[in-house]
Amino acid sequence: MRAVQFTEYGPAGVVHVAEVPEPHAGPGEIRVAVRASGVSPGEIAVRSGRMRDVLPVAFPFRTGFDAAGVVDEIGAGVTGVDVGDAVFGAVHPARRGANADFAVLVAWAARPAAWSWAEAGGAAGAAETSARVLDRLAVRAGQTVLIQGAAGGTGSVAVQFAAARGARVIGTASEHNHDFLRSLGAEPTTYGPGLVDRVRAMAPGGVDAVVDCAGGALPDLVAVAGDPARVVTIADVTARDHGVHLSHGAPESETGAADPLAWHGLAVAVELAGEGRLRVPVAAAFPIGEAARAHELSETRHARGKIVLLHRA
Ligand SMILES: NC(=O)c1ccc[n+]([C@@H]2O[C@H](COP(=O)([O-])OP(=O)(O)OC[C@H]3O[C@@H](n4cnc5c(N)ncnc54)[C@H](OP(=O)(O)O)[C@@H]3O)[C@@H](O)[C@H]2O)c1
């Protein structure tokens, strides 16, 4: 089967498709014939080599954390799913390899009827992450939440998850993405200099929680929250210096202990999608053979929504 991988650190060009043996579902797992899979910005940081001191990897590194497809193998002990079902889900975080023609999923849910394969392909990671950080911050109805980097693949889902909890959501993005943020249920503002004043003007009573999906602005985000305990970042490895929690699911990381993965986020996504309250914006969809182009687009850090790879017609 075809799988996206890289065998050395470097620019997007080191990403290529290789012929590799098919994986098989072990106990508690299912295998899908992948129709679409998500491109993970965290893996791009790994590929570039800038994470090699904190997160060294073995080569070949097979990319991809989430995928959607048709179930074609069911591991021992698995119930509630049949061969032929359309699902979306995620592979084991330490194993990766979802950007391939077949992927072994450790968590999954039925693909919502309203979602295209492309939307479903990149949904699981964003849903799991959104549930994980919003749970950690105990975001609930009546609160005000600031989401930094709200137009990206993760932020765009986190906005909708927070709004669905009944929170008021302020989201940051470039000006041209402000209507997009409104369409997701957030009140938009721009990130960068003056952020603290802009948010204080929008929420004079303060914000209850801050989700940082971008990195690089923790002093401002702590000032907005008034307490580092009310800030969670998924993207800033300097978190500890600011007394902020860095939430991640990579057990081998030296950037702090992993949080338990919030797989219930997939069920939340299914429920919200069924009510027409969750979409997974797709910034771009590339054929699997153009994975390097997908990495290039992701590296611009200005994709609106999720970048996905398409595996079958
Ligand atoms: N720890 C975890 O569990 C976990 C899970 C998922 C993702 N992540 C990490 O979280 C980050 C976000 O992931 P993603 O999938 O949402 O990435 P993404 O889709 O590439 O994010 C792109 C978004 O970032 C915004 N952005 C760019 N520069 C910014 C800045 N200086 N300040 C604020 N926003 C900025 C852009 O906004 P505009 O285009 O509007 O400027 C764009 O909407 C990545 O670093 C990823 O590795 C971590």
Could you tell me if residue 273 is inside a domain?
Answer: no
Q: What is the CATH number of the domain that holds 241?
A: 3.40.50.720
Domain end point (choices 198, 223, 246)? 246
113 and 136 within one domain: no
Q: Which residues contact 73 (CB under 8 A, 6 or more apart)?
A: 24, 25, 30, 31, 83
Task: Write out pLDDT tens, residues 87-107.
Answer: 999 999 989 999 999 999 999
Could you tell me if residue 261 is inside a domain?
Answer: no
1 Cα–ligand 1 center, Å: 31
Ligand 1 atom 39: the closest Cα is on which residue?
302
Query: Count of domains in the chain?
Result: 2
Q: Is 130 in the pocket of ligand 1 (CB under 6 A)?
A: no
Q: Is 213 in the pocket of ligand 1 (CB under 6 A)?
A: yes
72 and 180 within one domain: no
Q: Which residues contact 195 (CB under 8 A, 6 or more apart)?
A: 172, 189, 217, 220, 224
Half-sphere exposure of 36 (CA within 13 A, CB side): 23
Mean pLDDT, range 42-69, rounded to an integer: 93
133 and 112 within one domain: no
Residue 209 above 80 pLDDT? yes
Q: Collapsing DSSP states into helix, strand and coil, what is residue 55?
A: coil
Residue 7 above 80 pLDDT? yes
Question: Taking Cα atoms as reference points, which of 269, 211, 266 lies closest to residue 244?
Answer: 211
7 touches 46 (CB < 8 A):
no
202 and 155 within one domain: yes
Predicted confidence band at 312 (pLDDT cuts at 50, 70, 90)? confident
pTM over 0.85: yes
Range(s) of the domain holding residue 234: 129-246
Predicted confidence band at 249 (pLDDT cuts at 50, 70, 90)? confident
119 touches 156 (CB < 8 A):
no
- Per-residue confidence (pLDDT) for residue 55, from 0 to 100: 82
* Radius of gyration of the CA atoms of the chain, in A: 19
Q: Is 163 in the pocket of ligand 1 (CB under 6 A)?
A: no
Mean of all residue pLDDT scores within the chain? 96
Q: Is 63 in the pocket of ligand 1 (CB under 6 A)?
A: no
- Per-residue confidence (pLDDT) for residue 227, from 0 to 100: 98
- Per-residue confidence (pLDDT) for residue 253, from 0 to 100: 53
Residue 256 above 80 pLDDT? no
213 Cα–ligand 1 center, Å: 5
224 and 141 within one domain: yes
Closest atom of ligand 1 relative to the 42 alpha carbon: 47
Return the best residue to mutate from 39, 136, 213 for the ligand 1 pocket (most ligand atoms within 8 A of CB). Answer: 213
Ligand 1 atom 48: the closest Cα is on which residue?
234
The structure tokens listed for 90 are 């995620």
The structure tokens listed for 281 are 């914006």
Question: Taking Cα atoms as reference points, which of 174, 255, 225 lies closest to residue 245?
Answer: 255
